[in-house]
Amino acid sequence: MADDPFSLAEHAADAIRTRFGDVQARVAVVLGSGWGPAADVLGDTVNECPFDELPGFPASTVPGHGGALRHARAGTVDLLIFRGRVHLYEGHGPATVVHGVRAAILAGAKVVILTNACGSLNASFPAGTPVLLRDHINLTGQTPMAGPPPPKPYAIRFVDVTDAYSPRLRALAQSFDPTLGEGVYAQFLGPQYETPAEIHMARVIGADLVGMSTAIETIAARHLGAEVLAISLVTNLAAGLQGKPLDHAEVVAQGQAAGERVGRLLRKVIEVA
């Protein structure tokens, strides 16, 4: 049917190819809160267009998120950079949240790099630390695979996420920066920050990091066969662990302070991914 999310993603993929000259971008990067400075070091800008000029892309309402898709080039690799994302807590359904990831893959991306700002539950990951995700816990109660079954020729909805975050790409990132740690990320719905009791629960079930994005995008990317690398930038200790209230402005500032440095690392990965 005309309004199914896969048809809409195909339409958006066609628009991306048309807007960017039928580019075959192998890599897609989604930039999270405060990651804006990374955009300029990930690759040399070729072209850019606002999200609202592409089918199915709503505007983000969250400070620290841009609103454009950029075609860039890192060495010989073409990439798509999503300067911002939308979230479940903005009132969007899962299909809308993962729409950009689906469109990028259908436009040719084989590797999806997801970034986010997060809170840390692990003393080994203080504020300012980039952490690779090795697994996630989806606490949103939502998934992009719910609803009618995907139409042919797409895979069935029962996605294997055993290795959701590519061991190959994680090893590649660590070859460029051996200090990079790995952790388990729990996605909450938000937009309110987690309570101390919720943080205690997340620690008990094995989470090192908490945030409000990424997990459902990973599910959608894996369903379409893309490899996923996800990197969280710790911007604060989680609720009840730092002795002061949580503040979104602090999240954005921490991301901006470290975004360029982590962006240079990701560029090295992109050039050989």
Tell me the mean pLDDT per 10 residues along the chain, length 273: 84 96 94 84 95 90 77 97 94 97 98 96 92 99 96 94 98 97 98 94 98 98 98 85 66 69 93 93
CA dist., res. 171 & res. 142, Å (int): 30
Provide the annotated active-site residues: 194
What burial class does residue 63 get, using C-beta atoms within 10 Å of its C-beta: 0-12 exposed, 13-18 middle, 19+ buried?
exposed
DSSP state of 156: P
> Six-digit token pair at 132?
């690779």
pLDDT, position 6: 97
Domain that holds residue 249: 5-272
pLDDT, position 161: 97
Residue 200: which of 170, 240, 232, 161 has the closest Cα?
240
How many folded domains does the chain comprise?
A: 1
- Whose structure tokens read 């971008």? 25
Q: What is the CATH number of the domain that holds 128?
A: 3.40.50.1580
